[in-house]
């Protein structure tokens, strides 16, 4: 479900995939159609976007952790740029 490509009209919003999912799920709730969503798959997908510290030093150095907007934002920054 969440691992599929976005429709071409929305591919520029890939980085906002988690936000889009929030609004889609909210819309389904308003329509009373949450039963159409595989809740376990959604929870698993959301948790897969969680950013964890790479080591304990990251925690003590004040590195931020949280959630990334999509899989494409999980790549490490290129240090050669």
Q: How do residues 44-75 score in pLDDT, each as one tens digit?
A: 888 887 777 776 666 677 666 766 666 655 55
User: Quick one: pLDDT at residue 17?
Assistant: 82
The residue among 23, 22, 21, 28 whose CA lies nearest residue 6 is: 21
Dist. CA 54–CA 37, nearest whole Å: 32
Q: How do residues 6-34 score in pLDDT, each as one tens digit?
A: 677 777 777 778 888 899 999 999 999 99
């Amino acid at each position: 479900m969440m691992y599929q490509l976005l429709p071409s009209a929305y591919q520029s919003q890939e980085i906002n995939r988690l936000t889009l999912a929030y609004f889609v799920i909210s819309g389904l709730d308003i329509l009373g159609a949450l039963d159409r969503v595989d809740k376990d798959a959604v929870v698993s997908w959301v948790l897969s976007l969680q950013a964890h510290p790479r080591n304990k030093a990251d925690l003590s150095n004040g590195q931020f952790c949280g959630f990334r907007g999509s899989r494409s934002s999980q790549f490490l920054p290129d240090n050669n740029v």
